[in-house]
Amino acid sequence: MKFTAATILAQGALAAAATSGDFTILTMNVAGLPEVLNPNGVPGGKEASAKTIGSRFAQYGFDVIHVQEDFNYHAALYSTDTHPYRTPTSGGVPFGSGLNTLSNFPWLSGSFQRQKWAKSSCASEFDCLTPKGFTFMRVALSSDATDAVYVDFYNMHTDAGTETADLEARNDNLRQVGEWIQTHSQGNAVLVFGDTNSRYSRSGDTGIRSLLASENPTGAAGLQDIWVELHRNGVVPNDAGVCGNPAEDAACEIVDKVLYRSSPLVQLTPTALEYASPRFLADDGVSVLSDHNPVLVNLTWSAADRRFRQSGFWGGAAYGTWFNDVSVLDSTTGSIKAQKITFRGENRLDSVGLTVSSSSGQGTTELVHGGQGGSEVSLTLADGESWVKSELCQGQKSDKTRNFYIKATTSKGRTLEAGTRTSDCKVFEAEEGWQVVGFLGESGDEVDLLGFIYGKI
């Protein structure tokens, strides 16, 4: 697939489809360190370059853009961009991480987080000048309450340099991302893109390989490199040659990478990757606006023909422990049947539980999330009875949004409820032929954030 301005601008509308869509992502190190520290050969001044970069973001309308080194020229960059969803700056040097996202898609409220690297090196480059790290957000490609599609997006800028201490720090940075994915993206589709400062041809850069399913089959991240998949025949190269700037084509390797994985809930398929430097030249058509080649990727997504789907969410994000039953459910064969619903609640919703079985005779599985507070209520489902409708009510506790109430309605009209109803409620109703078979969300002593996993009846 060849990118054109027309196809790029159409991606947001395509992604609004209920079960499939198409979108573009871009990663670009915008070279925003103060000019006095790092002029890096960009003519015309960095503030002017930042304005031009922002205007190109608006011109092409890429759906999700991750930028790195967005430090002291952030206001200039945003002044010419028109994306409806943008992260606020964390500050210039020495306060901010330089990581920001501009998007045509919203992300789950409260899900955006900044994480600082646990380890950094001062051996070379400017790594000790700023609190570098990575960001996380749960982006809604489709946010219909009944049939939602979310993908976890990560933006990163790892430790730079090639001294021994730099390599050690960078590998630890990527280990930290892998562990975060294991904990916070369990069961989810994932896109990781940014400035990795890593090359597969550099023997000391083992961290980037540890994230790849092909290099580390037992690793929790289980990612694929889209450049490797589309331009290297799926084989991680030991030496692909180093690109110039602007790069003539995508056969050579750069440190700016895009990694991904699908999930049982959504299939991601990359269809094109290009080094987009020709789109980011100065008005003279020759001079570069940044010392990095931007990377542009097109992907399709599909939630159609999947065993499982998910609803939207209700409640508050980013202070509970993430859970997602889809991996457990997907490990079974045959159709899934809910046998028993169990809730705990009083003032708020303390826990949700579901006993499910498989038509293949693998026995029953208990899916329980939350704490032990409140009173327990349960409902055993009859043969041919399914959980098909849910209502959640949220409220504020200790200045945090939590779920206060839940009501389940079965295909036979029976109900089960727990907690205390509020005025802020939402109904989730399974499409015909589907039923609730599991949960996903965040919990601690109570259920903070909750969504439902649907399986076919």
Residues 331 and 283 in one domain: no
DSSP string for 95-135: T----EEEESS-B-TT--EEEE-S----SSTTGGGS--EEE
Residue with tokens 């005025």: 423
In a domain, 402, yes or no: yes
Q: What is the mean pLDDT of residues 190-200?
A: 97
Q: Are 272 and 206 in contact (CB under 8 A)?
A: no
Q: What is the mean pLDDT of residues 434-452?
A: 97
Distance CA 27, CA 290 (A): 12
**Rounded distance between C-alpha atoms, residue 357 and residue 62, angstroms:** 43
The model's pTM is 0.94
Q: Are residues 254 and 376 in the same domain?
A: no
Report pLDDT digits (tens) over 412-429.
999 999 999 999 999 999
DSSP H or E stretch at residue 184: helix 164-184
Q: CATH no. for residue 354?
A: 2.100.10.30
Q: Clarify whether residues 213 and 284 are in a common domain.
A: yes
Looking at 138-142, 362-366, 430-434, which range is the least confident one? 362-366
Same domain, 273 and 358: no
Which pLDDT score, from 0 to 100, does residue 363 have? 84
- Say if residue 2's pLDDT is above 60: no
Kindly state the DSSP code that residue 189 receives in the 8-state scheme.
Answer: -
Residue with tokens 């190190």: 29
276 and 295 Cβ atoms separated by less than 8 Å: yes
Position 35 scores a pLDDT of 82
CA angle 373, 437, 350 (to 5 degrees): 10
Q: Over 50: is that where the pLDDT of 8 sits? A: no
**Is residue 6 in a domain?**
no
Residue 379 in domain: yes
Residue 113 burial (CB count, 10 A)? 15
The residue out of 300, 326, 343 marking a domain boundary is 300
Indicate the residue among 300, 322, 350 that finishes a domain: 300
Q: Across the chain, what does the average pLDDT equal? A: 92
Residue 3 within any structural domain of the chain: no
**Residue 277, both tokens:** 């430097």
HSE at residue 227, side-chain half, CA atoms within 13 A, is 23
3 state SS of 263: coil
Question: In this structure, are 346 and 272 located in the same domain?
Answer: no
In terms of domains, do 61 and 140 share one?
yes
Q: Are residues 77 and 40 in the same domain?
A: yes
Q: Choose the final residue of a domain: 263, 283, 300.
A: 300
For the cut 80, the answer to whether the pLDDT of residue 43 exceeds it is: no
- Domain interval for residue 215: 18-300
Place of tokens 């090359």: 199
Check residue 40 and give its pLDDT: 66
| H-helix or E-strand spanning residue 181 | helix 164-184
Q: What is the DSSP string of 370-427?
A: E-S-SEEEEEEPPTT--EEEEEEEEEEETTEEEEEEEEEEETTS-EEEEE---SEEEE
Interior/surface letters 363-383, b for 16+ CB within 10 angstroms, e for the rest = eebebebbeeebeeeebebee
Contact 202, 212 (CB under 8 A): no
| Residue 9 in domain | no
Task: Provide the domain count of the chain.
Answer: 2
Asked which of 42-51, 389-398, 433-442 is least confident by mean pLDDT, the reply is 42-51
52-107 pLDDT tens trace = 999 999 999 999 999 999 999 999 999 999 999 999 999 999 899 999 999 999 99
266 and 326, same domain (yes or no): no
Same domain, 290 and 359: no
Same domain, 269 and 323: no
Residue 139 belongs to domain with CATH number: 3.60.10.10
What 8-state DSSP symbol labels residue 280?
G
Average pLDDT over residues 277-303: 94
Has residue 8 been placed in a domain? no
329 and 191 part of one domain: no
Q: Does 2 fall in a domain?
A: no
Confidence of residue 123 (pLDDT cuts 50, 70, 90): confident
The pLDDT of residue 380 is above 60: yes
Same domain, 313 and 285: no
Is residue 12 in some structural domain?
Answer: no
Bridge partners (DSSP) of residue 22 are 300
Kind plus residue range of the DSSP H or E element containing 166:
helix 164-184
Contacts of 284 (CB under 8 A, 6+ apart): none
